Amino acid sequence: MPKQVDHRERREAIARALWRVVEQRGVTQLTMRVVAQEAGMSLGQLQHYFASRTAMLSFAMDFASEQTAARLHQGLDRLGARPHPRDVLRLTLTEMLPLHPDARATSRMSAAYVLEALHDEAVHEQARRGLVQGRARVEQLVRQAIADGHIDPGRDPATETNLLLALTGFTSLIELDVIEPEEALAAIDAHLDRLFSRHGLAASSA
pLDDT digits (tens, 9 = 90+) for 129-141: 989 999 999 999 9
Which pLDDT band, with edges at 50, 70 and 90, does 84 fall under? very high
192 touches 86 (CB < 8 A):
yes
Which pLDDT band, with edges at 50, 70 and 90, does 109 fall under? confident
Which pLDDT band, with edges at 50, 70 and 90, does 11 fall under? very high
Range from 20-29, 44-53, 102-111 that averages highest in pLDDT: 44-53
Average pLDDT over residues 91-115: 88
Which pLDDT band, with edges at 50, 70 and 90, does 185 fall under? very high
Question: Which pLDDT belongs to residue 198?
Answer: 63
Which pLDDT band, with edges at 50, 70 and 90, does 167 fall under? very high
Return mean pLDDT, the chain: 89
Domains of the chain with bracketed CATH = 53-205 (1.10.357.10)
Which pLDDT band, with edges at 50, 70 and 90, does 196 fall under? very high
Give which of 60, 62, 65 is closest to 30, Cα–Cα: 60
185 to 150, 189, 195: CA distances (angstroms): 21, 6, 15
91 touches 76 (CB < 8 A):
yes
144-147, long-range: CB < 8 A, 24+ apart = 144/85, 145/85, 145/86, 145/89, 145/196
Q: Residue 97, class by beta-carbon neighbours within 10 Å (0-12 exposed, 13-18 middle, 19+ buried)?
A: buried
CA dist 206 and 195 (Å) reads 15
Question: Which pLDDT belongs to residue 4?
Answer: 52
Rg of the Cα atoms in the chain = 20
